[in-house]
Amino acid sequence: MRKYSDTIKQVLQGIAIGGGIALALSSGYFWTRLFLKVMQDRGYIKREIDSIKLARAVKRLEKSRLIILHENEGKFIVELTEKGKRKLKEIEYDDLTIQKPSQWDRKWRVVIFDIPENRETRARDALREKLREWNFYRLQKSVYVCPWPCENEILFLCAFFNIAPFVNILTTDHIYNDISLRKYFHLL
């Protein structure tokens, strides 16, 4: 997948959260500054972005057909295209991480999946790869364990690959003979 700058990621995420941005029409530079201000005021952009970088990012997104810019009743509308929505999901997938809390809640999260052969093997392989990337412990071929809360991230993966019916997440206080798990996660 093509890598995008933080500015482009923030613009895509901001437009997605805002459901499209409408601005009063004026000169190109003015609308860029106004767009930036609206995005920051609404909390869609967290850090400072140079307005020139923003203008370049918007132009690049429009050229790539990830966003559409159009006029409607005297307002300038910025919206994500279907291609932009898919690209945003890919970016979110790449940036997805499991946050490790400062203290373990003494619960194990067990991810179990049985994705049928007639489904894309790409989804199965990508799920396994992401679980490995997150350092899940492989208990069995399609059973992975993690001590950190990860339900939302797993649900995102299930939705992303359309495999929710084939994946289950268990939360348990006890796994028999979990010494190897505790060693693996440095929880002894």
Would you call 58 exposed, middle or buried from its count of C-beta atoms within 10 A (0-12, 13-18, 19+)? buried
Residues 77 and 135 reside in one and the same domain: no
Higher pLDDT, 70 or 157: 157
pLDDT-derived band at 66 (thresholds 50, 70, 90) equals confident
HSE, side-chain direction, 13 A CA sphere, residue 95? 13
- 102 is a domain residue: no
Residues 65 and 113 reside in one and the same domain: no
- 119 is a domain residue: yes
> Which of 20-34, 43-57, 143-157, 172-186 has the weakest average pLDDT?
20-34
Higher pLDDT, 154 or 7: 154
Would you call 26 exposed, middle or buried from its count of C-beta atoms within 10 A (0-12, 13-18, 19+)? exposed
Q: For residue range 150-186, what is the model confidence (pLDDT) as tens digits? A: 999 999 999 888 899 999 999 999 999 899 999 999 9
Q: What is the CATH number of the domain that holds 79?
A: 1.10.10.10
Which among 95, 122, 151 is the end of a domain?
95
Residues 69 and 120 reside in one and the same domain: no
- 146 is a domain residue: yes
- 178 is a domain residue: yes
Residues 170 and 124 reside in one and the same domain: yes
Which among 95, 121, 148 is the end of a domain?
95
Which among 46, 68, 95 is the end of a domain?
95
* Residue at token pair 């930036």: 36
- In our burial notation (b when 16+ CB lie closer than 10 A, e otherwise), range 141-162 reads ebebbbbbebeebbeebbebbe
Q: What is the CATH number of the domain that holds 169?
A: 3.30.70.240
- 50 is a domain residue: yes
- 62 is a domain residue: yes
Residues 88 and 140 reside in one and the same domain: no
Asked whether residue 126 carries a pLDDT value surpassing 70, the answer given is: yes
Residues 126 and 166 reside in one and the same domain: yes
How many structural domains comprise the chain? Answer: 2
Residues 178 and 125 reside in one and the same domain: yes
- 101 is a domain residue: no
pLDDT-derived band at 23 (thresholds 50, 70, 90) equals very low
Residues 88 and 112 reside in one and the same domain: no
Contact criterion met (CB below 8 Å) for 144 and 183: no
- 1 is a domain residue: no
Q: How far apart are CA 25 and CA 32, in angstroms?
A: 11
Range of the domain at 169: 108-184
pLDDT-derived band at 27 (thresholds 50, 70, 90) equals very low
Q: How far apart are CA 57 and CA 35, in angstroms?
A: 12
Model-level pTM?
0.68
| Residue 180 identity | S
Question: Which of 5-14, 24-33, 68-77, 101-110 has the largest mean confidence?
Answer: 101-110
SS3 for the chain is CCCCCHHHHHHHHHHHHHCCEEEECCCHHHHHHHHHHHHHHCCCCCCCCCHHHHHHHHHHHHHCCCEEEEEECCEEEEEECHHHHHHHHHHHHHHCCCCCCCCCCCCEEEEEECCCCCCCHHHHHHHHHHHHHCCCEEEECCEEEECCCCHHHHHHHHHHHCCHHHEEEEEECCCCCCHHHHHHCCCC
